[in-house]
Amino acid sequence: MGSNQVTAKSLNIRSILKALLYHQQISRVELAELTGLTTATISNLVNELLSQGLVRENGIEQVISPRVGRPRMTVELIPDARFAIGVHIGIGEYQIVITDLLANIVSFTTQKFEVCESAEIVIQEIVTQIDLLIIQSGISKNLIVGIGVGASGLVNVETGVNINAPNLCWQHIPIRDWIHLGTGLPVIVDNNVRLMCLAEAMFGEGKTDNVMAFVYARVGVGAGLFVNGKLFRGMAAGAGEIGHSIMIPDGGEKCSCGNHGCLETLVSQNAIIKSAMYLAEANPTGILAQKFGDCQSNEMDCVFSAAQDGDEEVLKMLAEKAKYFGIALANLINILNPNLIVLGGILEQGEEYFLPEIKKVVNEYSFSHLGDQVRICVSGFGQKTGVIGASALALSTYFYDLNEIQEQEKSF
């Protein structure tokens, strides 16, 4: 019975924390309404959270009804009462962040590594950088609730093993255990694009949406899915592999997955650069060829720069790519029926070239009026969506514990 009480109490506390996460400043009465708990229970638990230094009360005058004139106390989380660490492992680059409870960035670092470098060396470097970042931030380690890691490819969230990351040549890498061993902090690992979706669901565009997808394109193309208030991983962590939707079954280019004609072969960063190279070759005096000739940065940036300068052929090519994205999203909408799709990576970077065409194609191709009902936008976190998502995973697992109360959803 004792342990049941503890469980019920901790579930109630999590409900309160979750309500505070999504509603910021609310009164005890509103907390009771949102969580379904009695006002007496809310008062007890809020007092406990106050004594732990996790929340504070503000006496703000609120004109809400004829019963005016009485200051109404609102409760809110103290953002810097605890912290989390996020690690985003991309292709040849990783980012590490320390955030507060509302995913505000306190410290950040980004480092490059050799693709196909030994995973053990890369993870060791990450551990060293985590230690450095903690020291630099001046945050006491015991205020850090844990570490979330977003890794490329297939990840088993239960074991923290990166099963297969073909773009990094990594297989069966026990990321969770290695980072835990190095830092002594609790660690949880998931796919990096799935965590971008979590960033948006907890702290970004999707805070009020129950069914959403995050679609990311750069070296690879993938999606994170958030269904009824939690990440949807599928039976074997493979949900969201939209990049391997077959678009051209016969005669399509070979994909890294072994199939032919996957979406990724048409719209990944490399596929777009390859199409651009053909265009530049065909028109060696054109804007694009000049951009490639002077290219100091990433070739993708040069393609967007040519588009910005009005290169008609490049604009046409990008519109074609957007059409493929749009068709893939229409298929996704027909299966998932989301409220929201957030786009990241090159889709966010080249928003003005992709988004209008994608919206048009989605409306044209999705079933009935499903396409009209979905909001499509780009991520507001820019290049940091993945690392904020990694921190969001640590916060949701070790602080808000959203997975434990997933049945209650975000319905309030």
Q: Provide the binding-site residues for Zn ion, judged by CB under 5 A.
A: 244, 255, 257, 259, 262
Strands 144-151 and 154-156: unpaired
Report the candidate in 28, 18, 149, 37 with the shortest Cα–Cα distance to residue 94: 149
Going by C-beta distance under 8 Å and a sequence separation of 6 or more, which residues neighbour residue 252? 246, 260, 261, 262, 265, 266
Please, which residue, 82 or 244, has the CB nearer to Zn ion? 244
To Zn ion, the closest distance from the beta carbon of 153 in angstroms equals: 13
Query: What's the Cα-to-Cα distance from 345 to each of 196, 304, 349, rounded to whole Å?
Result: 10, 13, 6
To Zn ion, the closest distance from the beta carbon of 296 in angstroms equals: 32
To Zn ion, the closest distance from the beta carbon of 88 in angstroms equals: 23
To Zn ion, the closest distance from the beta carbon of 4 in angstroms equals: 48
Query: What's the Cα-to-Cα distance from 224 to each of 123, 256, 259, 389, rounded to whole Å?
Result: 24, 20, 22, 11
> In this structure, are residues 40 and 29 in contact, taking their beta carbons and an 8 Å threshold?
no
To Zn ion, the closest distance from the beta carbon of 260 in angstroms equals: 8
Q: Name the DSSP class of 260.
A: B
CA atoms of 236 and 170, how far apart (whole Å): 18
To Zn ion, the closest distance from the beta carbon of 321 in angstroms equals: 16
Please, which residue, 104 or 256, has the CB nearer to Zn ion? 256
To Zn ion, the closest distance from the beta carbon of 193 in angstroms equals: 15
To Zn ion, the closest distance from the beta carbon of 237 in angstroms equals: 17
Helix-helix angle 28-35:2-23, to 10 degrees: 110
Please, which residue, 173 or 255, has the CB nearer to Zn ion? 255
Please, which residue, 160 or 243, has the CB nearer to Zn ion? 243
Paired residues of 232 in beta bridges: 225
Residue with tokens 């970004």: 204
Report CA Rg, the chain. 23
Please, which residue, 148 or 243, has the CB nearer to Zn ion? 243
Please, which residue, 72 or 260, has the CB nearer to Zn ion? 260
Report the candidate in 176, 164, 212 with the shortest Cα–Cα distance to residue 87: 176
Element (H, E) at 170: strand 170-173
CA atoms of 226 and 230, how far apart (whole Å): 5
To Zn ion, the closest distance from the beta carbon of 351 in angstroms equals: 25
To Zn ion, the closest distance from the beta carbon of 255 in angstroms equals: 3
Paired tokens of 254: 């070979």
| Planar angle of CA 326, 329, 330, nearest 5 degrees | 85
Please, which residue, 150 or 261, has the CB nearer to Zn ion? 261
Please, which residue, 242 or 347, has the CB nearer to Zn ion? 242
* Amino acid at site 84: A
Q: Helix, strand, or coil here: 135?
A: helix
Please, which residue, 144 or 271, has the CB nearer to Zn ion? 271
CA atoms of 110 and 187, how far apart (whole Å): 19
> In this structure, are residues 222 and 243 in contact, taking their beta carbons and an 8 Å threshold?
yes
Please, which residue, 211 or 257, has the CB nearer to Zn ion? 257
